[in-house]
Structure 1
Amino acid sequence: MKKQNTAVRRAALAVLYLAVFAAAVMYLRVTISVPAEGDDKLTLNGWLYDMGRMSFWQYALQDLKERLSFFLLKQVRFFPFHYPNAVALLFYRTLASYRLYIIAMTGAAAFLVSRVAAKLSRSNALALGTFGLALAAAPIFNEGMYSYYAVPQRTLLWAAASWLCLFYLHESHHRAWGVAAAVLAFIACGTYEIGYVYAVLALLLWVVYTRSVRGGLRASAPVLGGMAVAFCFHFASSRHGGTGNELSLDIPNVARVTVQQMAASIPFLGPWLQGQDCGTISKGDMLWPFVLGLLAVAALLFAVPREKVSGNSLGGLALLGLGLWAAPAALLALSARYQQPEAITWKWGYIPAAASSVGLGLLLAAGVAALAKLCCRLPKVPSAVLRALLAVVLAAGIAANGAFTRGCLRTHHAENLKAYNFFSDTIRAGLADEVTADDLILCNENVWDTNTQAETNFFCRFAGRELHAQMPGIELPSGHGTLYAYQTYRNYGGYDLAWCGRLTDDTGEVMDGMRVYVQGALVPDNAVIKYKVRLADGTEEPRQICLLDCDRTPRNEKGEYIATVEDTSILNAKVMIWDG
């Protein structure tokens, strides 16, 4: 009977965890509305192009060779687990699946931290509340929540898993748990720098837990051993050159950057200080964070008091949450690179904020549980009423935070997402089909900080073949092939359009022939393409041609097609589609 009751309780807990995570997914899925950002603009397109032109096993072998180079000390930093593997890349093919992957990694990290909290407090209700508040506190306006392949969250996931292994080792004395803890700590440190501070936190946790420095060292030895091995590889790799992160012990700057980076984990703070517009807030913007917050605070205010968690346990969990929140920020603050005034400010922080927010959630959970403990000192009825009011107020506050942040994120990136989708649609539709791998595209779309490789990767991924591209104005490489202009304009003359044409010289001013991308579902067939040509005497002559008179490719499933303009000396500017 006892085993049956235990199974029922575990099943109920699993259902509640799933309910909280489902609400979190509905809340966090707004990140799907963000186009590729940060380093993703360079790396993801290159990886996905390689995956598209290779078999899965070919790519997996290539990926394995690249990871092996870290162990052979051929890289300046030892991060063999930093980049996504071949299996993970299967989830990166669309913005939706990629962002859901990041949400899943965030949820997994929060779940494991909540199980650590359960071990320390012996309270599943507190763990459930921690899980919910950690996800409610996710800083969705920070790049770590929608780019960089969830590196901080994956690091925290491996670190928290190693901590759990230490608890199982302490309980069972099976050495396999110690080996697992060491391996997981090694992976965490080989994923991102903050893995090292998580290993140090493990030591501090066990010193407090065992109330002995010697006992803490002995209990956390597997994690410290895994960290030490990773550090040896890292130190040996650094002999090949600097990493650009020089140590700086400028205490005022260390303190400033630490606090500012911690502030980046507060969801609403960044967009509020930036003066972002939240736009129109939908019912879903309010509903899902409210449901998420209500589930979390209800567990903390009503279920935790029944489990009689001690005040010492709540204080210890609050300190652990503070450590998880502050330690990654302190590590960044020790770098001269991040001490630069423009690197980290009150308005924005770096990607570890996405993992640090889990610590903030744990700190808040301990605070709410302590508040519930105080309420329980009142008579039964007033206590229940007060806790119910607190639950509604706290859930409403979480909903307000979530609705504002969701609205700001969606509004801020709305035009960027449209531009991203339009640019990729033009390539998929075949606008660059006449360009070969020996040619060079001069494109006005700035993929990532005028980076030529990022420009090339974007074309390669969406064209599905090798192409080369860069922005105009950048020095042309020696021995380049035929130059092609590639221009995109949105709402120009009433319609979005793009064109591609062979340039007559290196100035990029005149094209011989031009292919125009047409959104056939929106543009009437009798519309005209307006353009100008440069005559022999240097003057410019306006011309136009009806779409019906152009050679046109078959329409694709979206109704898009390519219209070809057979003319010479076409100016690479002022082209528009007009139906007036």
Structure 2
Amino acid sequence: MNSISQVCRRHRRLLLAAGYLLVLAFAVMYLRVTISVPPEGDDKLTLNAWMYDFQRMPFWQYLLQDLRQRLGYFLLEEVRFFPFHYPSAISLLFFGSLTSYRLYIIGVTAAAAFLTGRVIARLSGSEGLALGGFTLALTLAPIFNEGMYSYYAVPQKALFWAMAAWLCLLHLQDTGRRRWGVGAAVLAFISCGTYEIGYMYTVIVAGVFLVLSRSVKKALLRCAPALSGTAVALAFHLASSRGSGSTGNALAVNLPEIARVTVQQMAASIPFFNPMMLGEDPGVITNGDKLWPLLLGIVAGLVLCFVVPLRKVPARVPAAMAGLGLALWAGPALLLACSERYQQPEAITWKWGYIPAAASSVGFALVLACLIVLLAGCLARLPRWPGVLLRLALAALVAVGICANGAYTRACLRNHHAKNLDNYYFFVDTIEAGLADTVTADDLLLCNENVWGGDTAAESMFFSRFAGRELHAQLVGADVIPEDLKGSVYAYQTYRDYGGYDLAWCGRAQDENAELLDTLQVYVQGALVPDNAVIKYTVRLPDGSEEARAICLLDCDQTPRNAKGDYIATVEDSSILNAKVMIWDG
């Protein structure tokens, strides 16, 4: 036993690195379920707009454009000081597909949790508590919250930069070297320029140093670099908003509402809470849904119940770290709660919280980790074997609880978005197959697919990104046809399981209502639809009557099949009734 202990001490850093890598591997497999979610929220507009520019421009040109836009924040051209809020040109290299985009968010979340763990290790002197907190932070990430799969991980990035600033402050305290102070100031500035919760993290670190030094003067001196960086960011923020500082989020000192919103936003960081309140159906819970959270739970339970107590950390240390976790959990929620915008009854409820929950969950995980450590410490004081058995039982309880939470939340997320994901990929496939190839930038597409609440810019950017050229589109009935339209109106319709097949068509409209179409182009899934199937459609005759017609796919002009076997079949006819088209193989 002594030899094993000596080997562990000698290779402590190597074992610790292996532990972090193992947890990260399990966490990626657990969190990759977010890949099953189509773009949500602002991503439906901003992500497509960025990727459209990114794909059509040389990298250096987009980089210069990106730098110019960020410079605009420093020139006070925007109402919010967000120079580091939006993803950089380097980040967009990971945004080409849903898979790489969601892995990017997972990576940023893990990086923020890791730096938080390094802060915990420095403050508590316990690497075990840091590893356990890191494990729980990834295991208890609120994957049902949009912050875990949308908005390019903005809250997590703000937390990452803030924790990096905290580490610089701790190094400054240890070494007295000015470069650490400069680093803390710059990183605090970046955190605040990424998202407003960065300001709250500066307030929290000031509180941490106040507790450590037990002197207001000493605390202010020790965290002065972070305070100065935050002050500069705040000055830019106030100047951008012309002194109001509100930018649409006016301060509202309504104590009952502040309390309500704070608690409800904190609840959004508890992973199973929102889907449970929404009454989500998990559907089929797969073995993968159970396996990965179970493995993470086993690691967390063993580390917190056995590794941490080995150092015999005084109870006041995990208690203090629990206080820090509570501050990290409640701080961003309190900041939101002071905003008039988020005090509106529909903004934050028991069923839904805002995206900072993705960062606040790190604090919730730290609170839970410290409570487990405190309980395990009490059990460790019992006689040897009863204490070991009870700690094993506690570790098993932690593993089972985490497994139940992970399996339920993971299955709810996948089941909730399954249909939307299929619709998203089908819509993308129709555009990439060339269904809109005859449409020009002067034309207008009237589409039945709602990209983002009928927003015309979102509709246009979706088509532009996946067609690789400028197109203009709007949802049917969402807006009027522009009077200055130079080209034609085209109808673009997509339907799932329509007559037994997924179907989409595009045709030039005879009028603004797009009731009648000329020269219909039909998207055909060649891998599923027989070659001798027919396209059934209806035309309106000059006397106003309607006539059903059909044409075999073999008699239609067809584009070459793509890698998926899909192609476009053209129906040369006129006065075709829109919404009365079907592929039939009977």
* TM-score of Structure 1 vs Structure 2, range by shorter chain: over 0.9
- 8 Å CA contact retained: 2:8, 2:15: no
Selected match of 1:318 from 318, 322, 330: 322
Selected match of 1:476 from 470, 475, 481: 481
SS at match of 1:513: strand
Deviation, structure 1 residue 313: 1.1
- 8 Å CA contact retained: 1:262, 1:326: yes
Which residue type is aligned with residue 527 of structure 1? A
**Deviating more after overlay: 522-531 vs 232-241:** 232-241
Gaps of 5+ in 1: none
The 2-side partners of 1:301 and 1:562 are apart by 61
1:576 aligns with 2:579: no
CA-to-aligned-CA distance 1:413-441 (integer Å, 9 cap, x gap): 00000000000000000000000111111
The 2-side partners of 1:135 and 1:116 are apart by 16
Partner of 1:238: 241
Which residue type is aligned with residue 422 of structure 2? K
Deviation, structure 1 residue 449: 0.7
- 8 Å CA contact retained: 1:531, 1:575: yes
The 2-side partners of 1:517 and 1:337 are apart by 44
Taking a change above 3 Å as real, the CA distance of residues 39 and 7 of structure 1, as seen in their structure-2 partners, is farther
SS at match of 1:239: coil
- 8 Å CA contact retained: 1:533, 1:540: yes
Partner of 2:451: 447
1:374 aligns with 2:375: no
Taking a change above 3 Å as real, the CA distance of residues 216 and 273 of structure 1, as seen in their structure-2 partners, is same
The 2-side partners of 1:444 and 1:7 are apart by 65
CA-to-aligned-CA distance 1:273-308 (integer Å, 9 cap, x gap): 111110111111001001111111211100111112
Which residue type is aligned with residue 49 of structure 2? G
The 1-side partners of 2:344 and 2:461 are apart by 31
Selected match of 1:128 from 128, 131, 155: 131
Selected match of 2:543 from 495, 515, 537: 537
Which residue type is aligned with residue 253 of structure 2? L
1:67-82 alignment, distance < 5 Å: 67-82=70-85
Deviation, structure 1 residue 240: 8.6
Deviation, structure 1 residue 310: 1.4
- 8 Å CA contact retained: 1:319, 1:363: yes
1:278 aligns with 2:282: yes
Which residue type is aligned with residue 228 of structure 1? A
Selected match of 2:531 from 525, 534, 538: 525
**Deviating more after overlay: 250-259 vs 470-479:** 470-479
- 8 Å CA contact retained: 1:293, 1:395: yes
SS at match of 1:229: helix
1:486 aligns with 2:492: yes
Partner of 1:404: 408
1:175 aligns with 2:178: yes
Query: Pairwise CA RMSD of aligned residues?
Result: 1.3
SS at match of 1:58: helix
Partner of 2:435: 431
The 2-side partners of 1:4 and 1:223 are apart by 40
Partner of 1:414: 418
Selected match of 2:223 from 210, 214, 220: 220
1:507 aligns with 2:516: no
**Deviating more after overlay: 240-249 vs 550-559:** 240-249
- 8 Å CA contact retained: 2:376, 2:394: no
- 8 Å CA contact retained: 1:482, 1:502: yes
Which residue type is aligned with residue 459 of structure 2? E
The 2-side partners of 1:298 and 1:539 are apart by 76
Partner of 1:154: 157
Selected match of 2:564 from 552, 555, 558: 558
1:62 aligns with 2:65: yes
The 1-side partners of 2:185 and 2:296 are apart by 34
Deviation, structure 1 residue 5: 7.8
The 1-side partners of 2:297 and 2:213 are apart by 34
Which residue type is aligned with residue 270 of structure 2? I
Partner of 1:264: 268
TM-score, normalised via structure 2 length: 0.97
The 2-side partners of 1:540 and 1:336 are apart by 57
Deviation, structure 1 residue 239: 1.2
- 8 Å CA contact retained: 2:135, 2:299: yes
1:244-393 alignment, distance < 5 Å: 244-393=248-397
Deviation, structure 1 residue 48: 0.4
SS at match of 2:426: helix
Selected match of 1:188 from 191, 195, 205: 191
The 2-side partners of 1:463 and 1:216 are apart by 56
Partner of 1:18: 21
1:102 aligns with 2:108: no
1:93 aligns with 2:99: no
Selected match of 2:471 from 441, 451, 467: 467
The 2-side partners of 1:226 and 1:297 are apart by 39
Which residue type is aligned with residue 178 of structure 1? G
Deviation, structure 1 residue 393: 1.2
The 2-side partners of 1:50 and 1:105 are apart by 24
The 1-side partners of 2:220 and 2:508 are apart by 68
CA-to-aligned-CA distance 1:5-26 (integer Å, 9 cap, x gap): 8772111101100101111111
The 1-side partners of 2:231 and 2:14 are apart by 39
The 1-side partners of 2:247 and 2:448 are apart by 32
- 8 Å CA contact retained: 1:76, 1:240: no
Which residue type is aligned with residue 491 of structure 1? D
Which residue type is aligned with residue 11 of structure 2? V
Partner of 1:141: 144
The 2-side partners of 1:240 and 1:168 are apart by 35
CA-to-aligned-CA distance 1:43-69 (integer Å, 9 cap, x gap): 000100101100111100000000000
- 8 Å CA contact retained: 1:113, 1:160: yes
The 2-side partners of 1:224 and 1:359 are apart by 22
**Deviating more after overlay: 452-461 vs 537-546:** 537-546
SS at match of 1:529: strand
SS at match of 2:364: helix
- 8 Å CA contact retained: 1:75, 1:240: no
Deviation, structure 1 residue 478: 2.0
Partner of 2:3: none
Which residue type is aligned with residue 87 of structure 1? I
The 1-side partners of 2:211 and 2:456 are apart by 52
Taking a change above 3 Å as real, the CA distance of residues 4 and 280 of structure 1, as seen in their structure-2 partners, is closer
Query: Kindly, what percent of the aligned residue pairs are identical?
Result: 65
The 1-side partners of 2:515 and 2:10 are apart by 74
SS at match of 1:572: strand
- 8 Å CA contact retained: 1:447, 1:454: yes
- 8 Å CA contact retained: 2:538, 2:581: yes
The 2-side partners of 1:278 and 1:482 are apart by 46
Which residue type is aligned with residue 475 of structure 1? V
The 2-side partners of 1:323 and 1:247 are apart by 21
